[in-house]
A and B are shown apart, each in its own frame.
Chain A
Amino acid sequence: MPSANEPTIDCRELSKHFHDRKRGLVRAVDGISFQARAGEVFGLLGINGAGKTTTLRLLATLLRPSGGDARVAGFSINERPAAVRANIGFLTMSTGLYGRLTVREMIEYFGRLHGLERERLARRTEELFERFDIASFAGRRCDKLSSGMKQKVSIVRCVLHDPAVMILDEPTASLDVLAARNIVEFIADSRSRGKCVLLSTHSMAEAEKLCDRVGVIHRGRLLACDGIAALRGSSPSGRLEDAFVKLVEERAS
């Protein structure tokens, strides 16, 4: 387990290179380092194709790094990927629900994959169903749910095993206002519970609204990593968008 003052996510010189038939060697993630602590919401801000999703997949151990390492909840992604997976909640753009399972079956499946005992799983499920107001549609098949309901179920799946780290890939993209609110509340709630939240976004507004600190990522490299206020201050206009454009343009020249 991580010691008290160790960052919950500690990413050091993380790289991921692909071989592409057309483009040759692609440095999707190119030596990224940053830290995120418990009770903090850290955002990876960048345009499409900047390397955000790849970074999150590396940290979630879905991909193996080409170089560097990261410690997530105290475990190395290279050496203890299974332990890392047991300590993260992963939420993607799609809700990732099995349409032909009922909400209860779906949650039970992931609970058992996480190795929760039946009794504990049952208790935890009831607790979460109540907290997220799911009990009324727990017996319905997932493909019959509204997008807001799906989002809630997806969140429950994510926090079922009470992980220390939440990894959210573009959590509010393609969501309507109401469904997006669920996410916003969930992030705020996670922070207050002392979780470390890592999310990716291409939206300045979202980054400003949700994140304590932001890493600006472009072409696989981290251009800046600071608090929202400090980043805003780096632009004469005091707007995050202008600061972002300035960083990207400096990089290009």
Chain B
Amino acid sequence: MSKQVGVVFAKELREVLRDRRTLIFMLLVPTVAVPLFMWISTELVTHFATKLAREEARVLLLNPGAAPELVRRLRDSSSLEQTARRIEQVLVGAGLSVEELALLKGEPKAFMRLLEKKGIAADELVGKLRRATGTADLDADPKQLLAGLAPPRIQWLEEAPAGVDAAALAAAGRRRHELLEAVRRRKLAAAVEFDPRAESLLGEERSAPVKIFYLESSDRSRAALKSLRRMLATLGREILAERLRDRNLDPGFARPLAVRAERLPGPGFMAKLLSMLLPYMILIFALAGAMYPAIDLGAGEKERGTLETLLAAPVDRLALVLGKFGVVMVAALVSALLATLSLTVSMRAGVLGTLSLIGGEGFSFSLVEAGWAFLVVIPTAGIFAALLLVLSVFARSFKEAQSYANPLQMFVILPAFVSFIPGVDFDAGTALIPVVNVSLALKAIFTGNLDQHYLHLGLLFLSSAVLAAGLLLFTTWWFRREQVLFRG
């Protein structure tokens, strides 16, 4: 019996390895297509994010006459926009590209590593930045410095641009609609309106209302809003500083608590993203890699008319099922393993360009993690293999089997997606839910939190193995049913 299992396994494996379709899905897609896809998508995102950051945002001042002093100060060289330009000049002068700057915001530690790589002394750079901007107020944290570069530069318009009806803007009833149309047609990114009494209110040391019109669904408009908020806030701080000076008060008077968040040297943003993305990919590839072999080994035998002759041979049905099951499971594991390895290796090797610069930090991936990840996936690969074989044996043809397997993918995609949901923990409860448990366990492994979850891992193995064994038993029973084998 065990000899027969080996004979069936060897033959099925040989056949699967000679099938071009299987090879493409099991080997080529995970090793080549996945890193390529990731690389292209990051490059695209980078490209368009930088383009957006470099564009000038056209902001219409609806009533510049109402607050000439504010308008002057917004346009003044001491505004944040000018500061940002100077920061950019300094950084570009130091040998950093604008693209790198735009991407590196949010990852200060990676930024520091980049400086190191390029042989730029961080202290010196910050000193240069301070001198160039002339503001001691600037935080030494590069993240703060870089924040000024992210928003688009503002191009102030004091009159409605061509194509926007000034009369309609003036009419209170039609103004919102006209602005909406202007933003939609990209004539404007946003508009600013001062309270008519803004300057007199400021003179009385009161608060002057300023309204920003923007469109939530437009990336350009939201970027302009962000930029405007920051500029107006800076201007507001300047005015506050003047008021305090006039009264001989310390700047601390208006800022009783000086709060600053200090980041611990743990996993960064990209590490978090990868620890969410990788479990998902591993599970999807485990299923995708197993799909074609499974269909080929079940429905394929029916379609090609080999099943009858095979069943007429004195081979134990259990040996047939186990041999086939083994090959499908191996296909699932190989495909998942290749996807994981190709992604991490190409990331290490820097193939992914910008992503690799910021990826590694806090993301645990050594042979130990790879080994754990492989172990965790094994019982679930068994579950996939059994499920796919059940469907495949039931189907009359390759096509029919494919139409059954596709909805199964949805059942895997949804629970695998759980690694993306914040706040779902790998605990005694979730460790019992198939697929979900693997997704969460892999996330824990890749963020280096495995040591807190040994008990849950045990539960995962136990529950998944029981389920896989149950499904395998069912598959064997299923494979003995003549109504299944000789349908129609």
Interface, chain A (partner B; CB < 8 A):
57, 60-64, 82-83, 85-86, 88, 90-101, 105, 109-110, 112-115, 141, 157, 167
Closest partner residue, chain A, to B306 (CB atom):
A96
Max count, chain A CB within 10 A of own CB: residue among B14, B306, B309, B311: B309
Which 5 A-B pairs give the minimum distances between C-beta atoms?
A: A94-B305, A90-B312, A96-B309, A86-B314, A85-B314
Closest partner residue, chain B, to A84 (CB atom):
B314
Q: Please name all residues of chain A whose beta carbon is closer than 8 Å to the beta carbon of B310 when the two chains form the complex.
A: 96, 113
Q: A57-B486, A96-B305, A100-B18 are in contact. Are A62 and B312 (CB under 8 A)?
A: yes
A92 touches B308 (CB 8 A): yes
Please list 11 pairs of residues, one from A and one from B, whose beta carbons are closer than 8 Å in the complex, sorted by A's number.
A62-B308, A62-B485, A63-B482, A92-B305, A94-B304, A96-B305, A96-B308, A100-B14, A101-B14, A113-B313, A167-B312
Q: A63-B482, A100-B15 are in contact. Are A93 and B314 (CB under 8 A)?
A: no
- Contact partner of A110 among B14, B19, B313, CB < 8 A? B313
Q: How far is the CB of A148 from chain B (nearest CB, A)?
A: 18
Q: A62-B486, A113-B4 are in contact. Are A90 and B308 (CB under 8 A)?
A: yes
Taken together as a complex, chains A and B put the C-alpha atoms of A237 and B19 apart, in Å, by 56
B486 touches A115 (CB 8 A): no
B309 touches A90 (CB 8 A): yes
Q: Please name all residues of chain B whose beta carbon is closer than 8 Å to the beta carbon of A85 when the two chains form the complex.
A: 312-314
Given contacts A62-B486, A98-B15, A157-B309, 5 further A-B contacts (CB under 8 A): A62-B312, A83-B314, A113-B4, A113-B315, A167-B312
Q: Which of B292-319 contact A (CB under 8 A)?
A: 304-306, 308-316
Taken together as a complex, chains A and B put the C-alpha atoms of A167 and B311 apart, in Å, by 14
Q: How far is the CB of A245 from chain B (nearest CB, A)?
A: 30
**Size bracket of the B interface:** 20 to 34
B309 touches A92 (CB 8 A): yes
Taken together as a complex, chains A and B put the C-alpha atoms of A92 and B309 apart, in Å, by 7
Closest partner residue, chain B, to A61 (CB atom):
B312
Q: How far is the CB of A77 from chain B (nearest CB, A)?
A: 12
B312 touches A60 (CB 8 A): yes
Closest partner residue, chain A, to B7 (CB atom):
A112
- Contact partner of B314 among A82, A96, A141, CB < 8 A? A82
B7 touches A113 (CB 8 A): yes
Taken together as a complex, chains A and B put the C-alpha atoms of A103 and B315 apart, in Å, by 20
Taken together as a complex, chains A and B put the C-alpha atoms of A110 and B311 apart, in Å, by 11
A113 touches B314 (CB 8 A): yes
Taken together as a complex, chains A and B put the C-alpha atoms of A99 and B21 apart, in Å, by 14
Q: Please name all residues of chain B whose beta carbon is closer than 8 Å to the beta carbon of A91 when the two chains form the complex.
A: 309
- Contact partner of A101 among B4, B15, B312, B482, CB < 8 A? B15
A88 touches B305 (CB 8 A): no
Taken together as a complex, chains A and B put the C-alpha atoms of A88 and B309 apart, in Å, by 11
Max count, chain B CB within 10 A of own CB: residue among A57, A90, A98: A98
Taken together as a complex, chains A and B put the C-alpha atoms of A64 and B481 apart, in Å, by 10
- Contact partner of A88 among B4, B8, B312, B486, CB < 8 A? B312
- Answer whether residue B226 sits at the interface, using C-beta atoms and an 8 A cutoff: no
Taken together as a complex, chains A and B put the C-alpha atoms of A110 and B314 apart, in Å, by 9
B486 touches A109 (CB 8 A): no
Q: A57-B486, A100-B18, A105-B14 are in contact. Are A62 and B311 (CB under 8 A)?
A: yes
A109 touches B312 (CB 8 A): no
Taken together as a complex, chains A and B put the C-alpha atoms of A114 and B316 apart, in Å, by 11
Taken together as a complex, chains A and B put the C-alpha atoms of A86 and B310 apart, in Å, by 12
Q: Please name all residues of chain B whose beta carbon is closer than 8 Å to the beta carbon of A97 when the two chains form the complex.
A: 306
Q: A92-B305, A94-B305, A114-B313 are in contact. Are A109 and B19 (CB under 8 A)?
A: no
Taken together as a complex, chains A and B put the C-alpha atoms of A101 and B8 apart, in Å, by 13
Taken together as a complex, chains A and B put the C-alpha atoms of A138 and B304 apart, in Å, by 21
- Answer whether residue B11 sits at the interface, using C-beta atoms and an 8 A cutoff: yes
Closest partner residue, chain B, to A90 (CB atom):
B312
B309 touches A109 (CB 8 A): no
Taken together as a complex, chains A and B put the C-alpha atoms of A139 and B172 apart, in Å, by 87
B482 touches A62 (CB 8 A): yes
Closest partner residue, chain A, to B309 (CB atom):
A96
Q: Please name all residues of chain A whose beta carbon is closer than 8 Å to the beta carbon of B7 when the two chains form the complex.
A: 109, 112-113
Q: A62-B308, A96-B306 are in contact. Are A101 and B313 (CB under 8 A)?
A: no
A109 touches B305 (CB 8 A): no
Q: Which of B47-81 contact A (CB under 8 A)?
A: none
Q: Which of B1-20 contact A (CB under 8 A)?
A: 4, 7-8, 11, 14-15, 18-19
Q: Please name all residues of chain B whose beta carbon is closer than 8 Å to the beta carbon of A114 when the two chains form the complex.
A: 313-314
Closest partner residue, chain A, to B485 (CB atom):
A62
Q: How far is the CB of A116 from chain B (nearest CB, A)?
A: 11
Q: Which of B161-187 contact A (CB under 8 A)?
A: none
Taken together as a complex, chains A and B put the C-alpha atoms of A97 and B486 apart, in Å, by 18
Taken together as a complex, chains A and B put the C-alpha atoms of A252 and B309 apart, in Å, by 35
Q: Please name all residues of chain B whose beta carbon is closer than 8 Å to the beta carbon of A141 when the two chains form the complex.
A: 18
Q: How far is the CB of B279 from chain A (nearest CB, A)?
A: 34
Taken together as a complex, chains A and B put the C-alpha atoms of A109 and B351 apart, in Å, by 44
Q: Please name all residues of chain B whose beta carbon is closer than 8 Å to the beta carbon of A167 when the two chains form the complex.
A: 312
Q: Please name all residues of chain B whose beta carbon is closer than 8 Å to the beta carbon of A105 when the two chains form the complex.
A: 11, 14
Q: Please name all residues of chain A whose beta carbon is closer than 8 Å to the beta carbon of B305 when the two chains form the complex.
A: 92-96
Q: Please name all residues of chain A whose beta carbon is closer than 8 Å to the beta carbon of B315 when the two chains form the complex.
A: 113
Q: How far is the CB of A127 from chain B (nearest CB, A)?
A: 20
Q: Please name all residues of chain B whose beta carbon is closer than 8 Å to the beta carbon of A82 when the two chains form the complex.
A: 314, 316
